[in-house]
Each structure stands twice: as structure tokens, then as C-alpha cells.
Amino acid sequence: MPNRAARPHPRARALAPARTRALPLALALALALALALPSGCAHAPAGVATSASSPSEPPPIPWRGWERAAFAEAAAAGKPILVTVVAGWCHWCHVMDEETYSDPRVAALLAERFVTIRVDADAHPDLAERYAAWGWPAIAFLSADARPVLELRGYQEADAFAALLAELADAAASGALQGRRPAPATAPVVRPLAAVRDEVAALLDGTYDHAAEGWGHRQKYPLAGPIEHALLRARLRPAEAEWEARALRTLGRELLLVDPVWGGVFQYSTGGRWDRPHHEKIAAVQAGALTSFALAYRRTHDPRWLAALDLEVTYLKGHLMDEAGGFFAAQDADLRREGGALRGAGFYALDAAERAALGEPAVDRRIYADLVGALIVGLCAADAVDDRPPGARGDALALARAAGERLLADHRREDGAFRHQAGVDDPRIYLRDQAAVGRALLSLYQSSGERRWLAHARNLADRLLAELRDPASRAFFAASEDPAAVGVFSERRRPLEANGEAARFLIDLHRLVDHQGAPPPYLAAAEAALVALADRQALADEGRMIASYLLALEHLLLEPVEVTIVAPHGSAEGAALLAAALAADEPRKLIEWSEPGERYPASGSAALYVCTSRACSSPIREAAEVAPRLTAFIASLADT
């Protein structure tokens, strides 16, 4: 189970051992075991039983929330800190609750000799990013003053974990647990971004599995970023046309992760195969699937991709959609009920009637801004390619608009930034939220022509630059400053994936806003962030999760194609031209609606213009002509 991409996906790399002093034997063995486990919602070691029923609540350990008082208590008492990062949908988190935290020895050690903090990854995107490489459950041990000591990945067996807890507690009591710090980061060498783009593409290409298809070998994830990049490069660079076939073959494999009864895409598959799914359905995966299927249909018009989009929208409406708009975070893999859990493999093998008789796996009904934003982008993409007659079209855009309204009502702050979760007392803002919601606002603007979405996007971007930009490196911090943070948690991070998403938002925003007067700062800010994070080793460490950064580089370096519909807003003729523009298979396009006489002369009938930095097309007045004439116009410029 990855950590999202949902939100968050696992890193395709081995973890280096922590830099620390020599450890006692039991501690060293525990560390070796932890580093040997796979990332994501990590699997248990061989032989671990996992059939016990799972409680819906954590076991009776004195867990604290992510609160200042917990760190103050640890400092005052001189107790080490255990932080565990979990997710409601994480199978091995449940198993660790059942098998390890319920063990009397473990519970007693934690209650008496540690300060224990338990946080939900989806609710704390800054911590999810910090511990993403360890998978869920992630376990971090810190000294009493919150300096990192040791991180463990995934399920821990009770006997070994109890021995490890005793070792750490004794070391803390004797004053030997002083913590460790990572080596300071080296300043990146500035290189041309075109060269960086080519290097990053080669890194991503190196993760492609030519035998089984897909990016990554051990576990198969439905990753949207690599699919989008493969289709983009195949369209724009003839020498790389083979990547289109690879992307489409991979998506064909991903169809094995689609639930044929309810719809929805399972989170991933194990054993290097696509037919061994883990059955969680998390919002981030659904968002990526919408985008991938939409781009595949836009390229091929193969009806199976439109059918996959319909099934995905059906799942969202039936299981993850809130009645007031917006979408829930995830659905668990297993049906948890009194008397034992029915695991996902058994439940999802049932037909619709059999499932209805039993109920359904629990849904995490919290609504997070970043996940809703990503789903809005995917739903707008799905609507854009829906070429069926009006009466037969799906309602993806209506769902996207309702979710957008919910974000404005419940998540938007007075200063224009967006809260991660409505109703939660957290003064900070998070980069993942601002990037995802910003891209969602631009998708809604381009899909509707309504300028209020663009205005909200601009206000958001201004707060992003004011609160999240690192004045030293010019990259973006994962979260705004937390004055209550202590120890290592006061050190603000600059995550590559979220910086890539933020850069994509800022690049598109810059190209959509009016440039009268002083140029807006968005494009320069995006470029500076991409330059700041272009360290070769750091990029190599990202593995297949590098696609967001790569797509941001592509969008920065490619010349944009501006498509403008000139018609009274809401007119039937203008709407037909807009629909044709949205459906056109041109990955560089940005679409806006202009009133007659505002930027282009009023000519008495609706028209569409295609412009680059060098030229503009003659007016296109028929929807059926939009795609062929757009393609021909762009091709004519390439030949000059």
C-alpha cells in the first residue's frame, strides 16, 4: 500500500541505513529487518499471521495526537518519542494494531517509558511527505528533544519490537540516546533545464518494466504521471513515438485493477504482476485513473477507455461522494465486522447482490483539499473527452463543479489559501493542497470559461508564494511555518513531487492571466523552484515518483498553444467551440473564453483562435474544424 500519491506512493529505491553510532545487537537486527521490508503499506515478514479480526479503533495505548504538549511532556520527563504514521485504509496498520500494539509487553513499555504519538497520513500531508519512504505504518523513534534516532518500515513482530523498545528506553535512561542528524544537503549545480529534463526522463525510463508493463517491477501501481508523460512525448517528439504504445499497454494492464462491479481502481498489485491487487480504493488513485483513461481516449477514441471512465465516475458517485459535494479520502480493502474481517480478496470476488447483503468496507469520510483538487482535475479531463451527444454524456463536469464549490465554501481561507481539512484548527497551509486545488481551479476555468475560478486561482497563488516559498533556495516548503514545532520537525522540507505539482500550476496560471502592466511572478517562481531541486542524486532517489517534476519541466520548456473562444459567454455556438477545443489532442493547449471586442474584434459570430508566441490562426467558426485546423496550424509553424 503506497503512501499516497495519495496520496502518497512508495519510492522505488532502497533505503540507506541511518547514520548513527554503533547499535546494540537487538537494535541492529531490528533496523536490518526494517530496511529489508518493502515500502508502502508494507508487507509482514514471512510467517506472520494476519487473519485476526481488526478493531475499528487503535488499541488501548496512551496515544497522543500531533500536539505541542506531547513534545513538551517528552522533554520534561526525558522520555523518548515514538511517532507512528498510519492510514485508515492500510491493511498492515490494522494488523500491527491487532498483533503488536495489543501485546501486553509492548503496551506496557510504550505506556511507561515512551511518549507515543499517532497520526493519520491523509490528515497530515507534511508528515506523510516526511515519512513517505518508509510506508505505512511508518514508525519513527526520536530522542526526548525530538531528534531522529531510528525509522522503521511497516509491520513489526511483537517479540522483536518489545526487545527494541526496551533497548531504546534503557539507552534513553542512561543518557546514551542522543539522536542523529542527516548529512547537510549540498547545493545543486545549476544546469540548463532542457538537460535536466532529458536526464529526468532517462531516470523515469529506467524504471519501466518492458516484460510486465508499467513503471516499477516489484509492485504495480496505476501511476498517472508516467502515462501522461509517455503520451505527451510520443505526440510531440516523433523519435519517441514508441512510448505511446507502452503507455496504452500499461493502461490495458491497469484495467485488471478496476473493480468490475462497483467500479473504482484498486491501489496496487503485488509480485510484479497486475492480477494480484490489494483492494484499497484511495481517492488519489481514482483521480489519476480518471486522467489516464481520459488521455488514452483523447488519443485513440478506443471505447474501452470511455467505458472505464464511466465506471470510475459511477464508483465515485456511489461510494466516495459527499452529498454536499466533495469526495471522501478512501475506502478500506476489508469488510470489518463483528466476528472477524472478510478480506478484500474475498469480498471483491462477490457479485453486487452478495456485497449488498453484507455491507461494504468502511469509507474514510474525511474530505481533504488535495484529494478533492486532484479529483476535480481528473473529472474535468473526463468531461473534456466525452464526445457523446448531450443526452448521453456523463456528469463528470457537474461533479467537478460541485466539488469546487465545496472547496470554496469549506476550505478556502479569507486570504485565498485553502485549508487541508475543513473544521480542523490548523493555522498552517500545505503545499500539496495549494498545488492540487490551484490546478483544479484552472481546470474548472478552462472547462467553463467562468473567470471567478481564475480569480480564486490567482489569490491562492499569491498566498503560496508568500507563505511557502523558501527565500534561500527558491523552492517551496511542504507547509507554512509551525512555531510550535520542535526538534527535527522544525526543519522545513521541500518535497520534489509537490514542488512539481506547484510549478505546473504556476506555469499554467502565468499563461492564462492578463499580462497588462508588470508581468506576474508565477512563471519565474516556478522556474526557480525547478532549478533549485535539480540535484542529480536527489532526483535519482525519487525513482518512478519523479513524473510530476518531469511534467513541470516539459510544460515550462514547451511553447504553449493558446486557444481562445470569442463569443458571448454561455452561447451555444461558443460552447460547441469550447467542447471541440477541450477534446482536441494537443497537450500544450491552454483554453480561455473572451467576450467579443475584448481581445479580438466582434465579427458577428462565434470564433476560435489558435495562437503561439509567433503567430495566430485565422478564425475557426465550426466545431468540426477545430481539431484538424489546430493540428495543421501547429504543424505549419514547425515547418517554418
Q: Is the residue at 489 inside a domain?
A: yes
Q: Which of 152, 177, 147 is nearest to 15 (CA)?
A: 152
| pLDDT value for 25 | 38
Lowest mean pLDDT among 87-101, 305-319, 434-448, 466-480: 87-101
Residues 537 and 581 in one domain: no
Q: What is the mean pLDDT of residues 94-107?
A: 93
- Rounded to whole angstroms, the Cα distance separating 302 from 294 reads 11
540-566: b or e for each residue (b if 16 or more CB lie within 10 Å)?
ebbbbbbbbbbbbbbbbeeebbbbbbb
| Banded model confidence at residue 56, pLDDT cuts 50, 70, 90 | very low
Residues 43 and 169 in one domain: yes
Q: What is the mean pLDDT of residues 617-625?
A: 94
- Rounded to whole angstroms, the Cα distance separating 538 from 99 reads 36
H or E segment to which residue 592 belongs: strand 589-594
Residues 351 and 237 in one domain: yes
Q: What is the sign, positive or negative, of the torsion defined by CA atoms of 260, 264, 269, 272?
A: positive
For cell 472477524, name the residue.
Answer: 340
Contact, 151 vs 160, CB < 8 A? no
In tens, the pLDDT along 106-164 reads: 999 999 999 999 999 999 999 999 998 888 999 999 999 999 999 998 899 999 999 99
| Banded model confidence at residue 527, pLDDT cuts 50, 70, 90 | very high
Q: Is the residue at 519 inside a domain?
A: yes
The DSSP result for 348-414, as a single string, is TTS-HHHHHHH----EE---BHHHHHHHHHHHHHHHHH--S-GGG---HHHHHHHHHHHHHHHTB-T
Q: What is the mean pLDDT of residues 185-202?
A: 82
| pLDDT value for 24 | 44
Report the percent of the chain where pLDDT is more than 70: 88
In tens, the pLDDT along 575-619 reads: 999 999 999 999 999 999 999 988 888 888 999 999 988 788 889
Distances in Å between the alpha carbon of 544 and those of 191, 200, 205, 207? 22, 10, 9, 6
Contact, 269 vs 214, CB < 8 A? no
Residues 64 and 41 in one domain: yes
Q: Is the residue at 317 inside a domain?
A: yes
Q: What is the mean pLDDT of residues 534-540?
A: 91
| Banded model confidence at residue 391, pLDDT cuts 50, 70, 90 | confident
Q: Which of 260, 256, 252, 312 is nearest to 288 (CA)?
A: 312
- Last residue within a domain, chosen from 365, 396, 427: 396
Mean pLDDT computed over every residue of the chain: 88
Q: What is the mean pLDDT of residues 340-368?
A: 95
Residues 261 and 389 in one domain: yes
Contact, 269 vs 278, CB < 8 A? yes
Total number of domains constituting the chain? 4
Residues 434 and 504 in one domain: yes
137 preceded by a cis bond (ω within 30 of 0) = yes
DSSP state of 147: -
Q: What is the CATH number of the domain that holds 229?
A: 1.50.10.10
Residues 463 and 504 in one domain: yes
Q: Which structural domain range is residue 55 located in?
A: 25-173
| pLDDT value for 5 | 31
φ/ψ (deg, to 5) at 474: 75, 5
DSSP state of 5: B
Residues 452 and 591 in one domain: no
Q: Is the residue at 73 inside a domain?
A: yes
For cell 481562445, name the residue.
Answer: 564
Q: What is the sign, positive or negative, of the torsion defined by CA atoms of 457, 7, 54, 335?
A: positive
Report the percent of the chain where pLDDT is more than 90: 76
In tens, the pLDDT along 8-53 reads: 332 222 223 333 333 443 444 344 334 333 345 655 544 444 433 3
| Banded model confidence at residue 3, pLDDT cuts 50, 70, 90 | very low
- Rounded to whole angstroms, the Cα distance separating 432 from 501 reads 8
Enumerate the β-bridge partners of residue 563: 591, 610
Residues 52 and 89 in one domain: yes
Q: Is the residue at 130 inside a domain?
A: yes
Residues 417 and 382 in one domain: no
| pLDDT value for 40 | 54
| pLDDT value for 233 | 97
Enumerate the β-bridge partners of residue 363: 331
In tens, the pLDDT along 216-234 reads: 999 999 999 999 999 999 9
Q: Is the residue at 193 inside a domain?
A: no
For cell 474475498, name the residue.
Answer: 346
Q: Which range in 48-57, 398-407, 478-487 is most confidently predicted, on average pLDDT?
A: 398-407
- Rounded to whole angstroms, the Cα distance separating 435 from 440 reads 9
Q: What is the CATH number of the domain that holds 107?
A: 3.40.30.10
| pLDDT value for 134 | 85
| pLDDT value for 185 | 53
| Banded model confidence at residue 189, pLDDT cuts 50, 70, 90 | low
Helices assigned H by DSSP within 449-546: 451-468, 496-512, 522-532, 536-541
Q: Is the residue at 181 inside a domain?
A: no
